[in-house]
Amino acid sequence: MIIPALDIYNNNCVRLFKGKYSKLKIFCNNPIKVFLFFLNKKIKRLHLVDLNGANKENCNILTIYNFSKIYNYYKISKIQIGGGIRTFKKFKYFSYFFYKLIISTLIFKKVFFLYYFFKKIIYSIDIKNNFIYSKGWKKKECKLKKIRKKKLTTEIICTDIKNDGTMKGININKFLIFKNINTKLIISGGFKKYQKYKKFKINNVIGFISGISIYKKKVSLKHAL
């Protein structure tokens, strides 16, 4: 399954290149329009990220609020949302309106209320040079192999930061550490062609996040339906 990505920065629909904000590219200045486009296509799942929120900025609050109201009306696709969801108040609100909540920074903190939302949470494991990064891909946390010692959620997203936005193809070897673990895996970073990954050798993979390949029409949305 292909999972289209909708990243919001300063109320624009954007894509990053290798996680670098200095190489950010705006694809549309009307994220509501893009959001409705995906919902009207009746895609199975949408990956929604507030990039400002990931950096503790609140300029997209109204846009995210409008997303939640629109989604609550349509209730077609499953939407996973991430970016700055770090307080009980946000967890309570987003868990009501959206299918799954994506967290990264809180994985490495002792937060008591995560227990109450455990079934709604997706861990986002963002990797670069065999280290895990958080806080908008800016803070180095620990070596990748240490993540296996943590209690994982039922689904995780793993992003190859250095390959993100490149369309060079997924580096399969980066994700072998998650082979045969008892959790569903979604892979992100470098997606190019769907046919290439039909016979993926990690059996717990359930989907691939695709951003720039979709916006540049290099991959068909039929694989997201």
The active-site residue, picked from 50, 126, 160, 164, is 126
Q: Name residues whose C-beta falls within 8 Å of residue 167's C-beta, 6 or more positions apart in sequence.
A: 190, 191, 192, 212, 213, 216, 218
Is residue 7 annotated as a catalytic residue, yes or no? yes
Is residue 160 annotated as a catalytic residue, yes or no? no
Backbone angles phi, psi at 217, to 5 degrees: 60, 35
Which tokens in the block code for residue 182?
């008892």
Q: Are 69 and 93 in contact (CB under 8 A)?
A: no
**Helices of type H across the chain:** 31-40, 51-54, 61-74, 88-97, 212-215
Residue 145 CA: distances (Å) to CA of 28, 127, 150, 152 = 38, 11, 10, 13
Q: Are 28 and 34 in contact (CB under 8 A)?
A: yes
Residue 59 CA: distances (Å) to CA of 8, 74, 218 = 10, 25, 31
Q: Name residues whose C-beta falls within 8 Å of residue 197's C-beta, 6 or more positions apart in sequence.
A: 170, 208
Residue whose pair of structure tokens reads 């993926």 in the numeric block: 200
The active-site residue, picked from 7, 50, 160, 164, is 7
Q: Which residues are catalytic?
A: 7, 126
